[in-house]
Chains A and B, each alone.
Chain A
């Protein structure tokens, strides 16, 4: 609704192109632009336009936070706890402060009491030093004297759940409400994001013909952004300017303003280019507060850049889980009950649940979810690409596979029966054809040492919408067009999709649009998280461009002897509809302006309303999903799994740039491949130390590990907004590990229930080496 509440009806494309495309009438705010036709009828949107900032990236000209150099800039280093759990008896900074080149020192304080009393994981920050060179700062760290009283600690999820386990936090926190089960176990959380339990699972299990149980375990995965967490803080008397590698310039601005008692307009946060963000850069982080304190004390800009070791131990991670899933089903395939019991650990943080995958994907009237957060003396977890749902999918999608076998259904046929999504039905059909599903053999049917297998798994991600941000579009008198917004580009291509949307509206090319983002001084942005950016900000861009073009049309319509509504823009020209000669170039039109046009627009609520209100999460009517198929080879002598091919069929509303969407889907699959086969944070139980805090022992996929990836992208219109686009970064990573696990089962006839599926895990599953038993 607009301010005046006036609205009009408009007809939108709705459904999948090539598979039942139709139309839908929606009431939209009266000043919103007319519906866009499908991509095939457009010039710029929907085309594989090269990234407008690509040249800066391939030439090394792109300036990241780690590249920022300010006059007089100091370099900071952080002293970190060598103990997994210790009381801090005293911190003496005197020698460090007097050390060569040191300009400022700062000791970390705890919120509330103003001193640092306890550190809870090995690598927790204690103090920081800013000096003229990084080497001088490093040398000064060695002069800091800390007296520790080491405390008992626990780093293992299973041990931490026991009643005899050492407490990760002191009694004050552990005795707070929620810690009913044992010292470190908080919960149960019964109502995770979006909806809670439903029906009665006891009744559902009672009417089932088959009941199956499965226990699953997922490891801790670290983010491994190639650009580490980094900040340059420049505290000036009137203003704090911060350059930082962040997914959220606006959020960091707000956090810093609040922490340091500044007005929001006195803080400016800049993130021109940032080298990877998968959830660990959504907030300011303790390093940001340290850098600002040091800058304030030193009266000089301070650069604080994590090294790779710090990044691994303190930069955030995907929490580990242990899950027990139970499903009941009738012979005809009807699923009558699903229960999930999950324990997760995000180290010293909360939020280690398994998402809403199990409760949302399949029709099942009886569902119960019981999740517990388990504290451990380990590096803090945080959001990571589809938090919770990646872990949840690994369990649920293997259970569906198992259920299909028990019911003697084909896994695709069972999903046709229980998955209400018509979009995924189409995706299963397309993907099944591509991977050659009909040639799939029964589980473990192959003879020989190296066995092949095919597997499938599905993806579900809620369509999150953020209406808090806006875009400004400016048309200059020389015909240049500038868009400004306080959003940021993680490498997903946000700059380029914004340019495409504005260019389409102006009848220009994407490269004609200057997109200025990554600065909190621009109109309010939003965080790049939850795959919500494209769906939330591109409508604002189109709406602002539409308003600007209406204003331009009002100026030139009289010159062309036409009305505003008669004018159309295409190929850099403005025409009177239906004519060729009554036209002028965009540049000539802009020259008629007496002053530049500046318009600003936000994003109204979803056309057709939300499934969940903004207050309850702002979920769009349509979810984003996908179906992935994996083809694997398992060497039963060495235990090595090789993924040969992945077929990934996804939808993301209107794809604005299919080439960039494909890049996102590749990225999701490859991160899922690392989760499936290689990545695992290894903590030493005796010291709490991370044993592979680097990039050679902590292995992420390299180019030789990457299979052939066949991406099929559906154009699936929902009539949700003026661009009708959605993000896709997270849905693409959810099903990958589960699809690979199902393919491994199909190959060897044994189910792998813990990640990663490294050679030892496979050999233990095959009974060729002893396995470590574990049980919930």
Chain B
């Protein structure tokens, strides 16, 4: 475990606002934040990366899921100042050179999208799953995505999309 309290030296003692560094999608950002700003708020506010959504703001719905050193976490459940040097990947960082990630292609092909508000979090979790387990079984997909809520009821198309992306990798 890396030191998660690796705050920037410019944090003034006794102040609730200071300068931190955040490594997001391969770019190092320096930003002033309050100590109680969550990673989700820092991404959506000062960094204007609004693809990360906040729907419950307490870790119950998964809409704010980002990767932290490759692990899917709820960005509403970690303070920005506690991220330290860990690499943050948001939905905006998943596509490279305007080329969609295979899981994004699969979500499109299987209509695993309705209103689209929960979608970025689900795409991130599905990408993390396929990274650690390239050919998951249906039950493994359901377990990996069970922290996500979708009120439109897109679930069957979501797991079809993940299964298809997994199968495509076998070919």
Give the interface of A toward B (CB within 8 A): 48, 50-51, 53-64, 66-67, 69, 135, 223-228, 273-278, 307-308, 490-493, 659-660, 662-663, 666-671, 694-696, 700-704, 706, 708-709
Contacts and interface: CB of A to CB of B under 8 A. Distances in A.
Given A51-B111, A58-B119, A666-B156, A696 B142 contact: no
Contacts of A277: 115
B60 interface: yes
A703 B158 contact: yes
A61 B51 contact: yes
B84 interface: no
Nearest to A496: B111
B149 to A, nearest CB: 6
B6 interface: no
A708 to B, nearest CB: 8
Contacts of A493: 114
A359 B53 CA distance: 43
Interface in B118-136: 118-120, 123
Contacts of A66: 50, 53-54
A19 B111 CA distance: 28
B148 to A, nearest CB: 7
Contact of A60 (B57, B60, B120): B120
Contact of A58 (B36, B63, B113, B117): B113
Contact of B151 (A55, A276, A694): A276
B92 A55 contact: no
A671 B156 contact: no
B61 A60 contact: no
A750 B88 CA distance: 53
Nearest to A69: B48
A749 to B, nearest CB: 31
Contacts of A225: 115, 117, 151
A57 B111 contact: no
Interface in B49-96: 49-58, 60-61, 63, 90-92, 94-95
B156 A59 contact: no
A50 B115 contact: no
30 contacts: A55-B100, A55-B104, A57-B116, A58-B104, A58-B113, A58-B120, A59-B91, A60-B50, A60-B90, A135-B34, A225-B115, A226-B117, A226-B118, A227-B55, A273-B116, A307-B57, A308-B56, A491-B116, A663-B114, A666-B153, A666-B155, A669-B153, A671-B151, A694-B56, A702-B155, A703-B141, A703-B146, A706-B155, A706-B156, A708-B156
B152 A667 contact: yes
Contacts, number: 168
A314 B58 CA distance: 19
Interface of B: 34, 36, 44, 48-58, 60-61, 63, 90-92, 94-95, 100, 104, 107-109, 111, 113-120, 123, 141-143, 145-146, 148-159
B111 A662 contact: yes
Contacts of A56: 116
Nearest to B159: A703
A700 B111 contact: no
A551 B52 CA distance: 45
Interface secondary structure of B, over-half rule: loop
Given A227-B53, A227-B117, 10 more contacts: A54-B107, A59-B51, A66-B54, A226-B61, A663-B154, A669-B153, A671-B151, A694-B60, A700-B149, A703-B145
A65 to B, nearest CB: 11
Contacts of B157: 662-663, 666
B151 A228 contact: no
A59 B143 contact: no
Interface centre among B49, B51, B92, B100 (most CB of A within 10 A): B51
Contacts of B145: 703
A53 B107 CA distance: 12
B120 to A, nearest CB: 5
Given A58-B108, A58-B119, A226 B150 contact: yes
A660 B119 contact: no
A366 B107 CA distance: 50
Contacts of A709: 156
A282 to B, nearest CB: 15
Contacts of B150: 226, 703
A669 to B, nearest CB: 7
A75 B145 CA distance: 33
B155 A671 contact: no
A691 to B, nearest CB: 15
Nearest to B37: A135
A71 to B, nearest CB: 13
Nearest to A671: B153
Nearest to A663: B111
Nearest to A55: B108
Contacts of B114: 276, 491-493, 663, 667
B108 A226 contact: no
Given A57-B119, A227-B53, A670 B107 contact: no
Contact of A666 (B104, B117, B154): B154
Interface centre among A54, A56, A278, A700 (most CB of B within 10 A): A54
Interface centre among A51, A60, A225, A670 (most CB of B within 10 A): A60
A63 B50 contact: yes
A141 to B, nearest CB: 17
B47 to A, nearest CB: 12
